[in-house]
Amino acid sequence: MVQSYQSPVRVYKYPFELVMEAYVRRFPQCDMIPIMAGTDVIKETTSKDGAIHQVSRRCRLHVEAPYLLKKIMGVEFIYFVQTNTLDRRNRTLTIEAYNESFSSRVVINENCKYSVHPENSDWTCFEQTAALDIRSFFGFESTVEKIAMKQYSQNISKGKEIIEYFIEELRKDGITSVPRWQEPTPKATPEVCVAKDSKKIENEGESSSEEMDTRDRTSSTPSTGSTELQLGASATHLPNMDKLNLNDDNNKLDADYIKRCLGDLTPLQESRLIQLKKWVAELQKGKVPSDTCLLRFLRARDFNIEKAREMLSHSLIWRKKNQIDKLMAEYQEPQVVKDYFPGGWHQQDKEGRPLYLLRLGQMDVKGLVKSIGEEGLLKHTLHICEEGLRLTEEATSSQGRPVTTWTLLVDLEGLNMRHLWRPGIRTLLKIIEIVEANYPETMSCVLIIRAPRVFPILWTLVSTFIDDNTRSKFLFYGGNDYQGTGGLIDFMPKENIPDFLGGDCKSIVHEGGLVPKSMYQPGEDIDGTRQHIPLSEQSMYHSVSLGRGQVHEVVLLIEEPGSVICWDFDVMKSDVLFSVLRTKVPITHRPEPQSPTGAMGVIDAVIGSDDQHRSVIEKSWREGYEYFRVEPQLVCHDGESIQGSHVTSYMGTYVLQWRYHESAPHTSPLDIIDTITAPKAKIMYYYETLKSADYRGSMTSLQSCQSGFSSLSSNTNKSVTSSCPSR
């Protein structure tokens, strides 16, 4: 596989002629490049008018390789041929180099260019590209490749240092400027072409191996051109940032810009960034992701450009398919989020990164899911991520240094078993998966404080879905360990610690609390019309309305004894009767609807439900003979939340049944009128079936509980009814 390198544009703030004078001083040998053993001129020519000067050199490089590899190679030096073409008229120097040694096994090509800065004629730009193709090398191909790229990277880093060193030497010699080349006058006698051949150097061994003689690669710049190089959104906001109009289809970056806006990168990391930028520019016709965005995807894949490109490609498709840019531009926080979502931006951490506070322990997960749905929570999460990117860009601009990540502080005070609600966890995992895939490397660290005993259970469930790099950024503090040395004070300025954590800074982050059931998304209104936005088609919740005499059932076919049926529903209006039944004879005649569950549970078979509210239990059937009640019947009143589970003992058909509940029987014919005008009962429900093996390994609580208040307090977790046998 060919390994390629593309340098960023590096700028020397010296005139071209002075840089050229410094450049030639590195020959025939430069002590600052230890692998350079010397150079010999092969051929040197000058045009008649003196404008073009070309020189070819054979460069000897020390073999820096393991002892065994040196013995196999059987040579002391490896040789490169370098041809420099200086165009004094256009003020450019082009350098072409290739390996002469081992050329049948290893192919190394390097191209460099010095040119005048397109907007400042007293500055000089430098750029280079290189390619390494190891075809065969005695079985040491991988080793040779690693040695070559490592040495090449080290030499690249010295490039600017070398030029600066020789410019200082020139200054010591009293040379601070070099006159520009002038066109010869007609009277002037032009120089004749001079050519000279050096004596042939005896070639040792086969032809030699790799390791390019690396000249300076430190200042920046492509050749002049009219196409403007876009340096990224944040570059134009930096104070005292010199605007660069460089060319080559927007795929080059200025080295100073990289350092000030993106941070310290190794030469190979810079190269990977430029290569990815070029690929995206060719692929994307229109808006191109910012340089910080490209860098995040590279970091997420350890600068493996193929993996980063694949990840970025999937993310760009996702953004286009879901119109994320438009969605976020038009996004407005729902009222329930403004009033009950316990999270928000709060000051900065010690490194100047934006800080987001999330009081997860005070969050009514069920209330939020049932009021804005999974899609609503996902949109709000994406809005937070997009806002984080905007704030980091502003921090980079205001602080004059790269700020590419933000910090997340999660307060778990109040977290209890109620937060281990399976639909809520399922929603959380879905959101984590989307954020991990599309917003990688956006957080510097995640501080988890006041973690209660129940948290390890939640962490066990969630952590397997978090990328290893992200997981390593989590820091945990139990109880009051976050206070004092080694706690928050190490990450936040003391004056920024919020008041609810014992600090002096007033926090505007909402405390959360219970979402009123009046804000839940209802199903159908009395007349059957939708009065609110319905739940997403991908939602795990179903909504149904029941009139007098009507029944709603979910029919499940259990194929393995020991499977567990779980349910969770809220009574939105009026009263209902809830039953769990088993039929003696399996029922298979209902069509199968779309399953409401996802990866966390496995449905054995869902026979379905009837929109006409007919029961599968025939009127002639007798309880205890044709069907059995496997759980006590519950009378569920308006406003109550019911969660429960049943461990099946038999194979066959099980029925989850909800009936409209009448508090009093009919006593007169006039009750028929009441039947017509009575309000419908409304429920929102969720169910799933866990296979026996999945259930036994589950860390979530399947204990049934009934709560009329759905409070966030510990009282909510007390079980009122239990449908699980002792285990």
- pTM of the predicted model over 0.85: no
Q: In angstroms, rounded to a whole number, what is the distance separating the alpha carbons of residues 173 and 166?
A: 10
244, 231 Cβ separation under 8 angstroms: yes
pLDDT tens digits, residue range 433-489? 999 999 999 999 999 998 887 788 778 778 877 888 888 899 988 777 787 777 888
Give the number of other CB atoms < 10 A from CB of residue 665. Answer: 6
pLDDT at 676 over 70: no
Give the number of other CB atoms < 10 A from CB of residue 144. Answer: 22
| Residue 83, beta-bridge partner list | 56, 96
Cα distances from 495 to residues 238, 358, 488, 506, in angstroms, run: 27, 19, 11, 10
Torsional sign, CA 414, 415, 417, 421: positive
pLDDT at 262 over 60: yes
Q: What distance, in Å, lies between the first and last C-alpha atoms of the chain?
A: 58
Please compute the mean of the pLDDT values over residues 258-284 and round it to a whole number.
Answer: 84
Highest mean pLDDT among 157-166, 378-387, 684-693: 378-387
% of the chain at pLDDT higher than 70: 73
Domain boundaries along the sequence of the chain? 3-224, 258-327, 336-501, 522-717
Domain boundaries 258-327, CATH class: mainly alpha
pLDDT tens digits, residue range 203-252? 433 333 333 333 333 333 333 333 333 333 333 333 333 333 333 444 56
Q: In angstroms, rounded to a whole number, what is the distance separating the alpha carbons of residues 707 and 517?
A: 13
b/e map 633-650, b = 16+ CB within 10 Å: ebebeebbbbbbbbbbee
pLDDT at 74 over 80: no
* Higher pLDDT pick, 184 / 626: 626
377, 661 Cβ separation under 8 angstroms: no
Residues 6+ apart with CB under 8 A from 276: 294, 297, 298, 305, 308, 309, 312
Q: What is the mean pLDDT of the chain?
A: 76
Tokens representing residue 119 in the block: 């907007």
Fold of 3-224: Alpha-D-Glucose-1,6-Bisphosphate; Chain A, domain 4 (3.30.530)
Superfamily of structural domain 336-501: CRAL-TRIO lipid binding domain (3.40.525.10)
- The pLDDT value given to residue 705: 37
Q: In angstroms, rounded to a whole number, what is the distance separating the alpha carbons of residues 193 and 315?
A: 58
pLDDT tens digits, residue range 19-56? 999 999 888 888 777 778 889 999 999 999 999 999 99
Strand, coil or helix: 464: coil
Amino acid found at 590 = R
Q: In angstroms, rounded to a whole number, what is the distance separating the alpha carbons of residues 81 and 61?
A: 11
Question: How would residue 73 be classed by pLDDT, with cut points 50, 70 and 90?
Answer: low
pLDDT tens digits, residue range 505-564? 888 888 888 898 888 876 433 333 333 333 334 456 788 888 888 899 999 999 888 888
- The pLDDT value given to residue 21: 93
- The pLDDT value given to residue 65: 65
Give the number of other CB atoms < 10 A from CB of residue 396. Answer: 25
pLDDT tens digits, residue range 324-378? 988 889 999 999 999 999 999 999 999 999 999 999 999 998 889 889 988 899 9
pLDDT at 416 over 70: yes
Cα distances from 402 to residues 20, 312, 385, 513, in angstroms, run: 33, 22, 18, 37
Question: How would residue 712 be classed by pLDDT, with cut points 50, 70 and 90?
Answer: very low
* Higher pLDDT pick, 93 / 676: 93
CATH of domain 522-717: 2.60.120.680
What's the half-sphere exposure (Cβ side, CA atoms, 13 Å) at 181? 18
Highest mean pLDDT among 187-191, 292-296, 365-369, 485-489: 292-296
- DSSP count for the chain of H helices, then E strands: 16, 23
pLDDT at 62 over 90: no
pLDDT at 107 over 90: no
- The pLDDT value given to residue 580: 95
* Higher pLDDT pick, 8 / 336: 336
- The pLDDT value given to residue 57: 94
Strands 652-660 and 551-558: antiparallel
Give the number of other CB atoms < 10 A from CB of residue 83. Answer: 15
Give the number of other CB atoms < 10 A from CB of residue 156. Answer: 25
Angular region, 574: left φ>0, alpha ψ -120 to 50, beta rest: left
% of the chain at pLDDT higher than 90: 31
Cα distances from 592 to residues 557, 603, 607, 685, 725, in angstroms, run: 11, 11, 5, 18, 30
